Structure 1
Amino acid sequence: MRPSDSGPPGSGPPSGPPGDAAPISGPPVRRRAAPGDAAAGGPGFVAVDSGGSGLRVVVGTAGRGPLARSASGEPVRTGSRGLDPGHLMEQLVPMARGLAAEAGVGRLDTAVIGAAGLAGLGDALRAELPAALARALGVRRVALAADAVTAYVGALGPRPGVVVAAGTGLIAVGTDLTGWRRADGWGHLLGDCGGGAWIGRAGLEAALRFHDGRAGGSGRLLELAEEVFGPAASLPGRLYPRTDRAAVLASFAPRVAECADGDAVAADILRAAARHMADSAAAICPETGPGRGGRAGRAPGRDAGEQLVAFTGGLLNLGDPLLVPLAEELAKRLPGARRTAAEGDPLHGAVRIATDLTTDSFTLPSDEKMLCVTSPAGEGDVGIPEAHTQHFRQKWM
């Protein structure tokens, strides 16, 4: 799942709401700082958001914030070992070196990699990246975070609460600052209920229902589906072979929202999506979600009525057709929770983690799959394995 696929590619909604750190959002920074100027801000960091549309990379210092940024349009490959650390390094290392030179940052001390799929597909990254980044960039600390965690930190910072990241997929993440909880994020085949791919698939199903003459169909959605994809009968052949099927499905979500005002079927789809989003938030709030084995117990010193909840991601750009029912469904499921605006996006979260690590003010809990911090020597949450693959070792070690 790509919670930080903060909007269906090519569908219109941009990635999550901009935050306060302007250099991260918008056009690439092209400011060249003098080496001494950057050095005055302390050791440098590189922060990365790795998602379905490629890498976004920021270099900066704790004292001066983000100084330069760049992006690639190529997502990290996924293979039999999960996310490919060699492919990530091939893209990241030249970008980081170039940005550090541009910003006048002489030494990179910390690297933070926020990666989509890290929890389930990140074993090779956790095993190989810390030592490889130390060798290639000279960093002393490496944090590997699921993009849901960087989305959380970007939205709320190091505060207890719940964040629902809604883009192509959907995941809810919460922390009481002693551990992490999650709901959904299981991918478009098994979950991501209420996300962009889920909405798009439901809209296309309604289109095909109308095409067949079955109940629950929508003529307007059929018109839009054929406008985008061609004849309805060709949809399976166009969708099923695609490796980016989730993104293609999600690209239809804005069309569902487009006709929701005058189409009851489309409106019901968005109402159901809002219900799923609220359900995921409630599942990880203290004393509201049953969880498995009662894992969603009360956070120390807090009660359910004090729970902070934020929503982030490009799906929110669908506007009132989604946001109005979302507010209503959230009020039903979490009547005492306090909803707050997201401060920033996953890249802001990666920068925040990097800044806190650089200044030794990092307070977030570690998690084997979702957030681990290590040093090249192996101190911290993850050790370095005895051997890597031959190609990776020869190139990066």
Structure 2
Amino acid sequence: MSDSKCRISRRRFLGRSAAALAAPLILPSRVLGLAGQTPPSQTVIAALIGCGGRGGSLLGMHSIPGCSIVAVCDVDRQRMENAQKRVSAGLAFQDFRRILDRNDIDAVVIAAPDHWHAPITVMACQAGKDVYCEKPLCRSVVEGRRMVQAARRHGRIVQMGTQYRSIARTRQACEWIRNGRLGQVHTVKLTHAPNPTHPIEPAQPVPANLDYDLWLGPAPWAPYHPKRCHFSFRFFMDYGGGFIADNGVHMFSVVSWAMGTDQTGPVSVQATGTPAGNSLYTVPVELRAEFEFADPPWRMIWEQAPGAGLNLEFIGSRATLSGFWDFRVTAGEADLSPTRGSELHLAKSLDHSINWLECIATRARPVMDVETGHRVTTWSHLGNIAWRLGRKLRWDPKTESFIGDEEANRLLHRSYRAPWRL
């Protein structure tokens, strides 16, 4: 596809009539009457950046009518080539900047390690591309705010990949809570398994298929070890934040939706935990963080402990609702009938990827917009900072800064390794 043809396609795609906006973007080709094909003017031309575990799953977007993944990118050449074969992508790169330089790509799907989310998202917005970014949104509070600013400044649609906002069971549970079915919720408890450890081992030679310097990118230089890369990167503070910044962000997104805090945050946080000790990994093994919220007052407890499973527990004045995939009343009594017409109804999305694609067409905010993604990811950063400093911290969600604590405020951003900057 030539650049000129793509620009025409993009303009037509974004300029569809008001009548078209009232209908779903993703239509069966038989409805469109196009002999089994979605017209190019309604197709989002996308690229995948990061072809590992989550990236491999997100390649499924290629099968959605109205989305075509034409390029893949990964610093691991083997993963890049495997992804290229899966979708028959004509373009494959190890350097994501090659994708951002192209005018024939409308949007990018980012499934790179966490420390790359902010730089790639900001640069993609600057390049005029819409973004789907896996959770957590970023690895620092300052990064998250700059991602929001970039999306707004350049008019981009940026969705964070927390798919629980697009699960009907989750939405129904949140509507029960928002509509007072449990009474006044005063405590929310989240449980998760501890972070793992790994013995310290000697550095190893960098594999020939891996551009390790580019994998590190803005993170501090460190000798190569296979456990630094791919799935286990999340257990290094330089690249991730442990499970609180992984499944924790999924769970926080549910809590925020249920409690109506998408545009604000906690007012204090304190945390305790077990250091990793003699381990290659650097995140705490066990972690307990307590967050206090105001207007109305309630608290949230995140606890990683041996034997703990994934669970959310909303404790109200009349009943307690517990679960993760499905929710049930575990104390008291509550009406769990479907949300009534007169009650509050939350945004309905039946598929997270399709919601993003629809919003690219309508330019509406997606169900997990970058602002909300930033807010709930911030909770994970606050928990890790409180654990690191070992004291209770007061937080101002309006200014996104700690009150009267400059040492804590210095931890809201992480320095970048040259030549990278945000």
Shorter-chain-normalised TM-score: which range?
0.3 to 0.5
Structure with bigger RCO (C-alpha 8 Å, 6+ apart): 1
Normalization by structure 2: what TM-score?
Answer: 0.31
Normalization by structure 1: what TM-score?
Answer: 0.33
